[in-house]
Structure 1
Amino acid sequence: MSDHSLADARVEDRALITAVMHRYAAMAKEEADFAGMAVLYTEDATIRFPDGLEVGPHEMAKVVRGNEPKAIRHHATTIDIAFTGDTEAQVSTMYLAVTDEAAPDHWGRWEDRFVRQPDGRWLISDRSIVVDGAAPGGWLARHYGGG
């Protein structure tokens, strides 16, 4: 991150981006409202999953593959925001997922590019989901490998 990005407080922009990240974490649960989550992304956004699958914001339900855990909660922890221009930011958010099968079940980070919209909203235009680790025998490890 550049010194310039830290020196430029942009408090309102940081708050709006952080609000998107917390809304996503709150919605990324069992029986998720994928249509509601899609509004946090630009229409042409790309979401990359650790297994190489790439989907648009209206295709996120494909990833679950009908294998939802009975309970899952994502906890966003550190959110690092680096503004790369007036209307773009690179955001790295550490997350921890807890399921009914393991606590923690898996952890990693969301690597996002945010774009400010003409109405002032900040939306995710590109996301890479990185899994740094998973509990052996947990939901993610059993259904998607790893652990």
Structure 2
Amino acid sequence: MNLTEEAIARSHITKVIHRYARLARENCDWDGIAKCFETDGIYRLPDRRILSPSQAREVVRGKEAAFIRHHLTTVDIEFTSEEEAHSQAQFFATTEYEFADHWGYWEDTFRRQKDGTWLIHERTIVTEGHHPEGWSAKVYGGDALKMAGDKGGKEK
């Protein structure tokens, strides 16, 4: 992949990561979230459940926040081939309960599609911490931190 092709691929990948962050809010567009993924993609939740992208609404466990915004800080993308890239996007989420409700990163594998765009093949949501009075704590409790495991996740 030459530098121009890589720049275009990075742009496509970053666009998908930001679209997901924009859509992951109250009254979520779950169909829009699913479109960020390949049809046969894998969506791994903080409690270790593995879902298809069409099941993405299960992330809220039937307890959707009245207000939630995901804010991205650092996005790192590494190409493993011309057809695949791995990324890690750090985030924190603001909810009606707490400004810093929960935080962590999305660990993704992207694949190039036949039309040249890139979609998420696999996403793992890693929650490194959450406010004990926040939405994440109310919905997931300690389960949200299990994915962080040895990566240092703990309540603050």
TM range (shorter): over 0.9
Scaled by the length of structure 2, the TM-score of the pair is: 0.87
1:65, CA displacement in angstroms?
2.0
Partner of 2:41: 45
- Aligned-residue RMSD, C-alpha: 1.5
Secondary structure in structure 2 of the residue aligned to 1:129: strand
Please give the residue correspondences for 1:49-60 in structure 2 after superposition, counting only pairs within 5 Å: 49-60=45-56
SS in 1 for 2:11: helix
Q: Which runs of 4+ in 1 moved over 2 A?
A: none
* CA deviation after TM superposition for structure 1 residue 136, in Å: 1.0
Measure the CA separation in 1 of the matches of 2:86 and 2:3: 14
1:18 equivalent in alignment to 2:14:
yes
| Residue ranges of structure 1 left out of the alignment (5+ in a row) | none
> CA deviation digits over 1:22-81, x for unaligned, max 9?
100000000101011111100111111111111000001122122111100001111100
Task: Give the match's secondary structure for 1:78.
Answer: strand
Percent identity between the two aligned chains: 44
Structure 2 runs not aligned, ≥5 long: 143-154
Quick check: 1:130 aligned with 2:135? Answer: no
State the TM-score, normalized to the length of structure 1: 0.92
Equivalent pairs counted in the alignment come to 142
Which of 56-65 and 129-138 deviates more? 56-65
